[in-house]
Amino acid sequence: MKKYLLNIGVILFDRVAMLVFQIWMASYYVQTLGISNYGQWSYTLNMITIIISIFILGIDVIVIKDIVNNKNKTGEYIYSGILIQLVGFIFVLITTLIIFDHSDLVIKVAMASILVANLFIILSKSFYWNYSALVESKYRTIAIVISFLIFIPVVSIYLSVIKTKEYVLFVYAIYYVIQFVVSWVVNKFLFKAPYTFSINSDKCKEYSKVGISLILSTLSVMLFTQTDVLMIKYFIGNAATGEFSAATRLSTSIFILAGILANTFYPKIIKLSNEKKIQFIKVAITTVTLFCIVGSLITMLISPYLTSSLYGDNSNISLVLSFHIWCSLFIFSGAFTSRYLYANEFYKVEIVKTILAAIVNIGLNLYTIPTFGIIGAVGSSFIAYLIANYLSLIIFKESRILFITQSKAYILMFNPIQYVKELKGIKCLFQ
């Protein structure tokens, strides 16, 4: 248990560093380019993210699961997975070049920066997949901390020499290039990875088959997390898009922690019996929900001061952040229930529930955004997450136990004595 908690502590340190970077970047972009041009950046980022969800197959948890089950073939699993995602990246590149307007300098520079960043994000997975499987995320954190120490002077020099203000958007790409180089050095000389380069054609076919079957799921996730920005741009304009994106940049930086926490325990979830998986997930959901409630209340109190210090005086940004942060209630719980579905290979459930939520989100946005503006998009998102990560679980026989467990987890919050008792019982699962 100590190993997992230490790993979480290390990862949280990692995420704090990333959170600072992302918030600084969003703030700098808004102040340098203006809220309307920041809306253009956000539009481009969201569009490319949706394209990525189609072509770069979401096989990450599948590769990690394979490594957990057979460490002797780590190199084979990692490089077969990387090859599949690099092939997908070629299609992302071609599609992006075709559909975007190259006459707009902001979009053109944003497109180049985002594509370069995502190429190096894929390459960095050759290290991070193994760290996740072995619960050794401290090496990733070491790499990220060193990356920041190098990034700060490099980007300071870069910003002082550029003549065109739109080129500040390349800061995004510069960070991920530095992170990859540092991660390679850490993996090679500090972690001293024992696996060697190997590609298995059968494993490539398997990953392709599973990844293609999950396209609808990953695309649906992107649709109900990214189309808010696209629909706001369509119905209201660039300024509103920038306001919504500036606010959700802060909240989604916190939401990323959900996946990190769930991924930390994913190797253990794979090995547990179904009964013990449910036991663990129940307590995990109760715990993260309590933190989300407290965190959301604090965010509502400080959001006016936080957003004004980062973006200037804009009440819309503060209002969006105050309400959007409550989506965390179902994002964090959903991270754990999804790992149960992946561990038991219930991919169909994950796909259908996500598609359902995406349809609901888009359908609601058609009414809420024109009627209520950017706050309407926040309401649609909350309902979509509620459906995807809670209500839809009752539909399928395979996931019904998760719906019951999640309901019990929420009730457990009102019985602190029983919660502490069950929390202590979780320690036995890690002995």
pLDDT by residue for the chain (431 residues), tens only, comes to: 555 556 556 666 666 777 788 888 989 999 999 999 999 999 999 899 889 988 988 888 889 888 888 888 888 999 999 999 999 999 999 999 999 887 889 999 999 999 999 999 999 998 888 887 776 667 888 888 899 899 999 999 999 999 999 999 999 999 999 999 999 999 888 887 777 778 889 999 998 988 887 777 677 777 767 788 889 998 999 899 999 988 998 888 788 778 778 877 887 788 888 888 999 999 999 999 999 999 999 999 999 998 998 888 878 999 999 999 999 999 999 999 999 998 888 888 988 888 888 899 999 999 999 999 999 999 999 999 999 999 999 999 999 999 999 999 999 999 999 999 988 887 666 65
Could you tell me if 80 and 171 lie in one domain? yes
Q: Do residue 228 and residue 277 come from a single domain? A: yes
- The total of structural domains in the chain comes to 2
Question: Among 264, 10, 6, which residue's Cα sits nearest to residue 142?
Answer: 10
Same domain, residue pair 191 and 205: yes
Question: Residues 201, 331: one domain?
Answer: no
Contact indicator for 188, 326 with CB cutoff of 8 Å: no
Last-in-domain residue among 181, 213, 245: 213
Q: How many CB atoms lie within 10 A of CB 111?
A: 24
Please indicate, yes or no, whether residues 176 and 313 belong to a single structural domain of this protein.
Answer: no
Residues in the chain, overall count: 431
Examine the fold and report which residue of 196, 213, 230 is the final residue of a domain before the chain moves on: 213
Radius of gyration of the chain (CA): 21
Give me the pLDDT at residue 416, please. Answer: 92
Q: Which residue type does 60 have? A: D
Asked if 357 and 224 touch (Cβ cutoff 8 Å), the reply is: yes
User: What pLDDT shows up at residue 162?
Assistant: 94
CB contact at 8 A, 316 and 182: no
Verify that 232 and 112 share a domain, yes or no.
Answer: no
Q: pTM of the full predicted structure?
A: 0.76
Q: 359 and 337, same structural domain? A: yes
Predicted confidence at residue 54, as pLDDT, reads: 87
Q: Are residues 78 and 146 in the same domain?
A: yes
pLDDT at 166: 94
Considering only CA atoms, which of 375, 373, 383 is closest in space to residue 322? 375
Q: Rounded to whole angstroms, how far apart are CA atoms 106 and 424?
A: 53
Q: Domain span at residue 379?
A: 218-431
Question: Residue 130: what pLDDT?
Answer: 84
- Same domain for 260 and 197? no
Could you tell me if 205 and 227 lie in one domain? no
Do 327 and 190 share a structural domain? no
Residue that finishes a domain, picked among 184, 213, 242: 213
| Whether residue 315 is found in the same domain as residue 208 | no
State how far the Cα of 422 lies from the Cα of 273, in Å rounded to an integer.
17
For 194, residues 6+ apart whose C-beta sits below 8 A from its C-beta are 74
- Dihedral class, residue 237 (left if φ above 0, else alpha if ψ from -120 to 50, else beta): left
